[in-house]
Chains A and B, each alone.
Chain A
Amino acid sequence: MYTQAMSVGPQDAPSSKIKSAEEAQREAAFEARIAAGDFIEPKDWMPEHYRKTLVRQISQHAHSEIVGMLPEGNWVTRAPTLKRKAILLAKIQDEAGHGLYLYSAAETLGTSRDQMLDALHTGKAKYSSIFNYPTLNWADIGVIGWLVDGAAIMNQVPLCRCSYAPYARAMIRVCREESFHQRQGYESLLVMMREGTAAQKAMVQDAVNRWWWPALMMFGPEDKDSPNSEQSIRWGIKRVTNDQLRQKFVDATVPQAEILGITLPDPDLKWNAEREAHDFGKIDWSEFWRVVNGEGPLNRERLGARVKAWEDGAWVRDAALAHARKQATKEQAA
């Protein structure tokens, strides 16, 4: 799952140092390749700022997969049927796998998983703000599948054509699995809404009420407040703007809500025949920035849980290394 706010978080300004003629030439050649729709591979020359932007974006994406395991993992021991438990477990397992693909993709840019994890654990790297919200009832799990994965897919499909090839290839694999989970999430809500009790329907509505706006925030700040988007779009890292994706998401989701028979918590949401799109209410950007900057409902708990897992597991990693060294020594001696 994931993604949001690629342009949120610490930004590296493009280097302003004076370029040599050779550098300028290489940059021009790079820009020409991008303009021609070429994909960039790990061994190709790339501007330092392009490299850094991608490391930040891909590692944030990987971190989001990992932190995103926690809100769903919160319900795995309490899933209401064995089938739903199996589906949820498989989903969380896929997320760990997505994290692994993405860390590998980022490593092709010259960073390491240890460096990236260190940045996560020390709070330097961001992850998607959506995972700082709590899962408070079982329907939250279905709603995360439907809305959060749905938003992630909207964000990620254009990334399948990202100019950096290893990232694009990772996205193709991720999107395939993600779409499957999204349908399963939606289906679980449909079952509760169509065949369930009044209490279950109320549970679904409550979950939608709590996740709708955070899901819309996953697309990141409005275009006018997203200064780095332009560069990312020019470089083919990003293909569609935040606001365009958000609109597309709303338009796709409203009919799905109707089929479910739930309401979306936005009195200003209505079809605009002239625009052939839905108008919708104003996002609470102060909440968005609060969560992004560490003051959301569960920022401390989520990061704390990851840091704890890492620290508690240190002796296991040390043992695995020590054992591997002993084996290597034995093999050399033999």
Chain B
Amino acid sequence: MSQQSIQVGESPQVQYLLRLGDSCLVLAQRICEWSGHAPILEEDLALSNMALDLLGQARALLTHAARLDGQGHDEDQLAFLRDERQYLNPVLMELPRGDFAFTVLRNFAVSTWLLLLWRRLEGSSDAELAAIAGKAVKEAAYHQQHAADWVLRLGDGTEESSARMRAALGTLWPYCNELFDSDAVDAAAAAQGLGPDWASLKDEWRAQFCEVLADAGLDCPKDSAYQSQGRRGIHSEHLGHMLATMQYLQRAYPGGVW
């Protein structure tokens, strides 16, 4: 016996919220993997802290998406009973945690992006989303500061740390395209005043991201032609494994109350 998967509706509003909520949830899940294994105790604390913030954001967004979807689901059903073709986060968030350089660089890329997004979402026509953004924007600013400090330390640290940062940048960069992909969901969100077309954040993101890279002695890479498709439910091979781990209790104990 096992728990059946659920499907969510096609409404662009719901899709837009899920893309964002799944981004926060999947990244939180990756950061959780550091628990007890960080290079110093202070970073163990900081990483748990950030994972906890992202998880809080994900919960608010999934709860709201479930309500809009109107099928009587809740945050847990959306998190634990959608299979990978129904998950809508960009692939960047699901990439393996890698070494500390990759973790720090991804946190910097994502927090910079989220900060821009939350600031715009504070003015959303959807009052609930605006309220979620109002809380999240403070957390994202803290995450960005923390990650930027580490990009500097590692980029401008030792030969090894700088080499690791360059390698991390090489891995991460092609997946950043997807953060600024534009499609019908974005167009609908922008038209309704729900939130920005993600493509509209690209220039500012790039400027902030590359400025810190430059301070850290790292070159901003040229645009990559690669286009990942996580926002449409077409993921890397990593997400299936993540969900198998994350969802197993809900799947294995149907009817369970936790």
Instruction: Please tell me the number of chain B residues within 8 Å of chain A, measured between CB atoms.
Output: 51
Closest to A67 in B: B36
Q: Are B36 and A92 in contact (CB under 8 A)?
A: yes
Say yes or no: is B138 at the interface (Cβ < 8 Å to chain A): no
Instruction: Encode B13-36 as 1/0 by CB contact (under 8 A) with A.
Output: 000000000000100010011011
Segment at the A interface, from B152-160, B167-175, B188-196? B152-160
A133 to B43, CA, bound (A): 26
Instruction: Encode A315-334 as 1/0 by CB contact (under 8 A) with B.
Output: 11111101110100000000
Instruction: Encode B42-66 as 1/0 by CB contact (under 8 A) with A.
Output: 1111001101100110110010000
Take A81-B76, A82-B58, A313-B40 as given contacts and tell me if A197 and B158 are in contact as well, using a CB distance cutoff of 8 Å: no
Segment at the B interface, from A94-102, A207-215, A227-235? A94-102
Take A80-B258, A316-B154 as given contacts and tell me if A99 and B41 are in contact as well, using a CB distance cutoff of 8 Å: yes
Tell me, rounded to whole Å, the shortest Cβ–Cβ distance linking B167 to chain A: 12
Within 8 A of A (CB), among B220-258: 242, 245-246, 248-250, 253-258
Say yes or no: is A122 at the interface (Cβ < 8 Å to chain B): no
Say yes or no: is A158 at the interface (Cβ < 8 Å to chain B): no
Instruction: Encode A79-107 as 1/0 by CB contact (under 8 A) with B.
Output: 11111111001101100110110010000
Tell me, rounded to whole Å, the shortest Cβ–Cβ distance linking A91 to chain B: 9
Q: Are B45 and A97 in contact (CB under 8 A)?
A: yes
Take A196-B257, A323-B152 as given contacts and tell me if A316 and B250 are in contact as well, using a CB distance cutoff of 8 Å: no
Say yes or no: is A200 at the interface (Cβ < 8 Å to chain B): yes
Take A69-B36, A196-B256, A197-B255 as given contacts and tell me if A92 and B48 are in contact as well, using a CB distance cutoff of 8 Å: yes
Q: Are B35 and A315 in contact (CB under 8 A)?
A: no
The CB with the most chain B CB atoms within 10 A, among A84, A306, A309, is that of A309
Complex interface: chain A residues within 8 A of B80 (CB) = 80-81
Q: Are A77 and B246 in contact (CB under 8 A)?
A: yes
The CB with the most chain B CB atoms within 10 A, among A92, A138, A195, A318, is that of A92
Complex interface: chain A residues within 8 A of B242 (CB) = 77
Instruction: Please tell me the number of chain A residues within 8 Å of chain B, measured between CB atoms.
Output: 51
Main secondary structure of the interface of B (DSSP, over half): helix
Say yes or no: is A29 at the interface (Cβ < 8 Å to chain B): no
Within 8 A of B (CB), among A57-85: 66, 69-70, 73, 76-85
Complex interface: chain B residues within 8 A of A197 (CB) = 253-257
Tell me, rounded to whole Å, the shortest Cβ–Cβ distance linking B155 to chain A: 9
Q: Are B52 and A89 in contact (CB under 8 A)?
A: yes
Q: Which of A80, A308, A315 contacts B256 (CB 8 A)?
A: A80
Q: Are A85 and B55 in contact (CB under 8 A)?
A: yes
Instruction: Encode A10-50 as 1/0 by CB contact (under 8 A) with B.
Output: 00000000000000000000000000000000000000000
Q: Are A89 and B36 in contact (CB under 8 A)?
A: no
Q: Are B56 and A86 in contact (CB under 8 A)?
A: yes
Take A192-B257, A318-B161 as given contacts and tell me if A89 and B51 are in contact as well, using a CB distance cutoff of 8 Å: yes
Q: Which of A77, A138, A191 contacts B245 (CB 8 A)?
A: A77
A135 to B58, CA, bound (A): 27
Q: Which of B33, B39, B76, B158 contacts A77 (CB 8 A)?
A: B33
Complex interface: chain A residues within 8 A of B141 (CB) = none
Complex interface: chain A residues within 8 A of B37 (CB) = 73, 305, 308-309, 312
A146 to B89, CA, bound (A): 36
Q: Are A312 and B39 in contact (CB under 8 A)?
A: yes
Take A84-B258, A318-B161, A319-B154 as given contacts and tell me if A78 and B253 are in contact as well, using a CB distance cutoff of 8 Å: no
Q: Are B158 and A322 in contact (CB under 8 A)?
A: yes
Q: Which of A73, A85, A90 contacts B36 (CB 8 A)?
A: A73
Take A77-B245, A200-B257, A316-B100 as given contacts and tell me if A93 and B36 are in contact as well, using a CB distance cutoff of 8 Å: no
Q: Are A191 and B44 in contact (CB under 8 A)?
A: no
Complex interface: chain A residues within 8 A of B75 (CB) = 82
Within 8 A of A (CB), among B129-175: 152-154, 156-158, 160-161, 164
Say yes or no: is B38 at the interface (Cβ < 8 Å to chain A): yes
Q: Are A320 and B157 in contact (CB under 8 A)?
A: yes
Say yes or no: is B92 at the interface (Cβ < 8 Å to chain A): no
A86 to B255, CA, bound (A): 21
Complex interface: chain A residues within 8 A of B256 (CB) = 80, 192, 196-197, 199-200
Complex interface: chain B residues within 8 A of A324 (CB) = 153
Closest to B99 in A: A312
17 A-B pairs with CB atoms under 8 Å apart are: A69-B35, A80-B256, A81-B80, A82-B55, A83-B59, A85-B32, A89-B51, A93-B45, A99-B41, A100-B41, A192-B257, A197-B253, A306-B36, A316-B100, A317-B39, A317-B40, A318-B157
Report B's interface with A, CB cutoff 8 A. Answer: 25, 29, 32-33, 35-45, 48-49, 51-52, 55-56, 58-59, 62, 75-76, 79-80, 99-100, 152-154, 156-158, 160-161, 164, 242, 245-246, 248-250, 253-258
